[in-house]
Amino acid sequence: MTSEADEDAAKHYHGHRERLRARLREAGPAALADYELLELVLFRALPQRDVKPLAKALLARFGSFPEAISAEPHRLAEVKGMGPSAIAEFKIVEAAAQRFAKGAVKKRLPMGSWTEVVDYCRTSMAFENREIFRILFLDKKNGLIADEVQGSGTVDHTPVYPREVVRRALELSATAIVLIHNHPSGDPSPSTQDVKMTQEIIAIAKPLNVAVHDHIIVGRDGHASLKGLRLI
């Protein structure tokens, strides 16, 4: 039998949900804290409970909205209350964010929209827990031909083969490429090896009329452009 206390609790969190949705509609996502955005994602998966404590526990564990959403499923499952339905909702949001960012890059390249390129790189890779190396292959007008992951590695290393990078560019008839990889440590500062590898790719690509526009490194703490730093 349902007690008055249970009914009051149900009314409270249902009223809270409606107020939160109304604030999102009226003021936009910028008006919501990270834990409130997590609550909105959790509402669908957990319709019969107050999810604010869970949202705050996720933030305490992972640090921010994007880090929680992009956390590996097995790590999410370690947080009490995160079952398969809730984890699936998080992965749907993550996939949607990546698809949206990729669509923006496809529409807005050429390179006048560098902000969108960087945003896409960060959305796709900044919160990965292992290094991933990917390449944007571009045509003569800097339109996107393909976006491909060339390899993944450990927490601090991904093997990259410069001749394979250039070979793939020639296969796709690309005239330019943008190199991208992430630093799981969070610090996007380029290493000596990052610079050396980029210079090796440039040396092989240049005689074949393939330009290397940039090498972007992304991390939780921001991004670094080797071209912007005048390292290439």
Q: What is the mean pLDDT of residues 196-211?
A: 95
pLDDT above 80 for 158: no
Whether 127 and 196 share a structural domain: yes
Whether 90 and 124 share a structural domain: no
Whether 129 and 71 share a structural domain: no
In a domain, 62, yes or no: yes
Q: Within a 10 A sphere around the Cβ of 219, how many other Cβ atoms?
A: 21
**Residue 219 lies in domain:** 116-225
The full 3-state SS of 144-212, as one line of letters, equals EEEEEEEEECCCCCCCCCHHHHHHHHHHCCCCEEEEEEECCCCCCCCCHHHHHHHHHHHHHHHHHCCEE
Rounded Cα distance between 111 and 101, Å, is 15
Beta strands (DSSP E) in the chain are 132-138, 144-152, 176-182, 211-219, 222-225
CATH number at residue 209: 3.40.140.10
Please write the tens of the pLDDT for every residue from 118-130: 777 777 777 787 8
Q: How high is the pLDDT of residue 82?
A: 94
Q: How high is the pLDDT of residue 2?
A: 47
In a domain, 105, yes or no: no
pTM > 0.75: no
Strand partners, 211: 176
With contact defined as beta carbons under 8 Å apart, do 32 and 23 qualify?
yes
Indicate the number of domains in the chain: 2
With contact defined as beta carbons under 8 Å apart, do 145 and 173 qualify?
yes
Whether 79 and 127 share a structural domain: no
Whether 88 and 14 share a structural domain: yes
* pLDDT above 90: percentage of residues in the chain: 41
Whether 123 and 57 share a structural domain: no
Does the CA dihedral 101-35-60-75 come out positive or negative? negative
pLDDT above 50 for 1: no
Rounded Cα distance between 159 and 152, Å, is 8
pLDDT above 50 for 68: yes
Write out the two tokens for 194: 């990052």
Pairing of strands 176-182, 211-219: parallel
Whether 215 and 128 share a structural domain: yes
Rounded Cα distance between 57 and 182, Å, is 27
Whether 17 and 59 share a structural domain: yes
Whether 86 and 146 share a structural domain: no
Average pLDDT, the chain: 83
Alpha-carbon distances of 202 from 34, 84, 205, 208, 216, rounded to whole Å: 41, 46, 5, 10, 14
In a domain, 232, yes or no: no
Whether 142 and 83 share a structural domain: no
Whether 137 and 89 share a structural domain: no
In a domain, 102, yes or no: no
In a domain, 41, yes or no: yes
